[in-house]
Structure 1
Amino acid sequence: MVNRRQWLIASGAVLGATSLMGVQKVMGKELGHMSPISFKVPANVVDSHCHIFNPVKFPYSSKRRYTPASATGEDLRKFHAAIQARFTVCVQPSVYGTDNACLLDALKQLGPDARGVAVIDKGFSGQQLDDLMGGGVVGVRINLEVGKDRNFNSAISRLEETVQTLDDRDLIIQIYAALPIIAELATRIQTQPHAVVIDHFGLAKSADGPEQEGMSSLIGLMQSRKVFVKLSGPYQISLLGPGYADTVAIGRTLVEGAPDQVIWGSDWPHTGGSERPANAKPTDVEAFRAEDEGRNFSLVKRWAPDSGLRYKLLVDNATKLFGFAAG
């Protein structure tokens, strides 16, 4: 008798029209080479941005734009043990659309030291939202970048629909959008009722420096205590190679501008490392970036040279925001 995994592979339901060899290649996310961390890691570090991919148990959406390899909760545990992180916030990746089953399964496996950020649409019922919250979800994500949506009116609509759907539930709104869009949304972000988290440095361009257009709006939102910004995925804003030294000025500006409103995230397992050819199909498996986790984590010391600021960035701010018990 053919088991479920064999049927999924044979039918292409796991990763699309992928060969058995291709599926085997994506089973598990290896840690790889890791340089020593350049600072003393405090207890109770929160990794506020990571993703779980489990295509065998939870097939990807047919509408996905890419096909990542596998990175499970067990792989995540090994990574966090290596960098001495305790708490985690798992963010629903775009390949699962609004089906949050993989996220909820991961939160169940990871236990009370994990929280989740789901993806919803305006069709979600109150009961569906309550079920997500019961499963450890503390926020919902608006992702405007996976489709490179830079339309201001679209961004307004997504934010307003999300606020309306949440219907005053105590959930964070997480926004993944380009800095100009965030700046344009500033007034609306400020006046809506939810705490807001901005992904990946607000996608400020390292090459344009701290004075670039939109940075003052972002820091103003942070100083109002309405918005938190994730210092996560330095390759998202860097034009340099590994080491990402050009992120230091942006990182320090955010930390020093609003030290109580910054949180750190690894962006594990680092999607987007492959140059996808123009004729690539969504079913072509995309390898994760080969990142030196120790070197990336050590950037924290350059963004926040003072140990007190590092503690806020790595522990205190996110512990309060996401409701972790650090005792």
Structure 2
Amino acid sequence: MLNRRDLLLASVAAGVAMQNRGAFAKAAQPSTKVNFEIPPHACDCHTHIHLPEKYPFWDGRVYTPEPASPEEMAALHKSLGIERVVIVTPSVYGTDNRATLEGIKFRGDTARGVAVIDDKTSEADLDAMGKAGIKGIRVNLATSGVNDPSIGRKRLEAAIERVKGRGWHVQCYTNLALLTNIKDVLASSPVPIVFDHFGGADADKGLEQPGWAELVEAVKSGKVYVKISGAYRLSNKGPDYPDSVPFAKALIAANPDRLVWGSDWPHPDSVTPPGKKPTDLNPLLQIEDGRVLNLLAEWTPDAATRKKILVDNPARLYGFS
């Protein structure tokens, strides 16, 4: 069953399509000016590249996004004043990381990447990806949810084992409630653990929702990083997402040294509308990235703290010099 946020994202996408008389929207470009000074070497730590004509999407995908090119991403970051980027292989590519690697190559030393792998990925493959700029692997814990948390736990433990000794990290897409079952894994992990999009929190459920206290405590302890990214996935009260404020401030107060920011560009809508097939093209969400970046100044008015989130923490986590 779709939750409230899923329905909102689907309705936003449908509205965009209606406004364009059936034509699909292209990847968003900001029209709102950033209202605070972006420090040198700022990094957008969560983006995707979609090049389906060159690198076909995975047959097992659950949605089909529009293309989003390295050139379009570069235009986004020029508008926002952001120099560095982390490109994450999206689920629609399965374990095919070629589009991500092409995006990294396009941006050169200002880019790093996060790959998706499986049991067939060899150590030689990991070596080659490391040389190309990959600094971590992404695992999806959310599909195990709270129905069988042991599956998510095993996936996380296996991922930690694969990257141990490489100087990489494990990035997790998860249901927040799962954190109550993996606290000990987080505490003992020899590699950094990074959670996407506020750890999968839902602003409608408030700060008392299961798993939120565990996430804040893990951040406070320095054991995990959290991407304060995709505010529109946390909240359904756009375009300014006021109910994101207490969540962001709680994490920043816990430990600003373990937070990074990401746009989640090009904002794919992962919910295939009723009556459509996963292979039908789904329009990209038209998120106003300048306005969303301005939220960071509301979340933390302190310029030194913003520099940690935008520059210092990404440099440490992703190996920027």
Class of the TM-score when normalised by the shorter of the 2 chains: 0.7 to 0.9
2:116 match = 119
Return 285-294 or 76-85, whichever deviates more. 285-294
> Whole-Å Cα distance in 2 between the matches of residues 300 and 110 of structure 1?
25
Give distance in 1, aligned partners of 2:129 and 2:24.
28
Q: Report the Cα distance in structure 2 between the residues aligned to 1:99 and 1:149, rounded to whole angstroms.
A: 25
Residue type of the partner of 1:252?
K
Contact 2:25 2:284 in 1 (8 A): no
Q: Aligned to 2:257, what secondary structure does the other structure show?
A: coil
Corresponding residue for residue 184 of structure 2: 187
Bigger-Rg structure (1/2): 1
5 Å-filtered alignment, 1:170-185, equals 170-185=167-182
Shift of 1:279: 2.4
Distance of 2:144 and 2:274 partners within structure 1? 16
2:313 maps to 1:317: yes
Q: Structure 1 residue 283 and structure 2 residue 283: aligned?
A: no
The alpha-carbon distance between structure 1 residues 116 and 253, as it changes in their structure 2 partners (threshold 3 A), is same
Match of 1:260, SS?
Answer: helix
Say whether residues 1:138 and 2:135 are aligned partners.
yes
TM-score (norm 1): 0.86
| Structure 1 equivalent of residue 227 of structure 2 | 230
CA distance in 1, matches of 2:25, 2:213: 43
The range that moved more, 171-180 or 147-156, is: 147-156
- Structure 1, residues 260-318: CA drift from partner, whole Å, max 9, x if none? 11110000011118x63222111111111111111111000111121121111111111
Whichever residue aligns with residue 290 of structure 2, its letter is G
Opposite residue 97 of structure 1, the aligned amino acid is: G
Instruction: Compute the displacement of 1:235 (Å).
Output: 0.9
Could you tell me which of 234, 241, 244 is aligned with 1:247? 244
Encode CA deviations 1:140-160: one digit per residue, 9 max, x unaligned.
Answer: 001234x47443011011112
Contact 2:26 2:284 in 1 (8 A): no
State the AA in 1 paired with 2:280.
D
Identity among equivalent pairs (%): 36
Native 8 Å contact 1:263 1:314 kept in 2: yes
Q: Distance in 1 between matches of 2:99 and 2:320?
A: 22
Segments of 5+ residues of structure 2 without an aligned counterpart are 1-22
State the number of aligned residues.
298
Could you give the per-residue CA deviations for residues 190-246 of structure 1, whole angstroms, max 9, x where no partner exists?
Answer: 212111111001112212333433222112211222211000000111031321111
Structure 1 unaligned blocks of 5 or more: 1-24
Q: Residues of 1 paired with 2:159 and 2:226: CA distance?
A: 19
Distance in 2 (alpha carbons) for counterparts of 1:234 and 1:120: 27
What is the CA–CA distance in structure 1 between the aligned matches of 2:232 and 2:116, rounded to whole Å?
23
Q: Is the 8 A contact 2:164 2:191 kept in 1?
A: no
TM-score between both structures, scaled by the size of structure 2:
0.88
Larger RCO (alpha carbons 8 Å, 6+ apart): 2
How far apart, CA to CA, are the structure 2 residues paired with 1:290 and 1:297?
Answer: 14
Taking a change above 3 Å as real, the CA distance of residues 104 and 26 of structure 1, as seen in their structure-2 partners, is farther
Q: Which moved more, 1:189-198 or 1:213-222?
A: 213-222
The structure 2 residue matched to 1:58, chosen from 52, 55, 76, is 55
Corresponding residue of 1:203: 200
Say which of 96, 103, 107 aligns to 2:100. Answer: 103
* Counterpart secondary structure, 1:263: strand
Give me the whole-angstrom Cα distance separating, in 2, the residues matched to 1:135 and 1:183.
35
Aligned partner of 2:27 in structure 1 is 29
Give the match's secondary structure for 2:40.
coil
Q: Aligned AA for 1:291?
A: I
Name the residue aligned to 1:295: 291
Deviation for aligned residue 1:167: 4.8
Asked if the contact 1:230/1:263 (under 8 Å) is kept, the reply is yes
Asked whether the equivalents of residues 121 and 162 of structure 1 are also in contact (C-alpha less than 8 Å), the reply is: no
Query: In terms of mean alpha carbon deviation, does 165-174 or 314-323 score higher?
Result: 165-174
Q: Alpha-carbon deviation of 1:165?
A: 2.8
Kept after mapping to 2: 8 A contact 1:263/1:317: yes
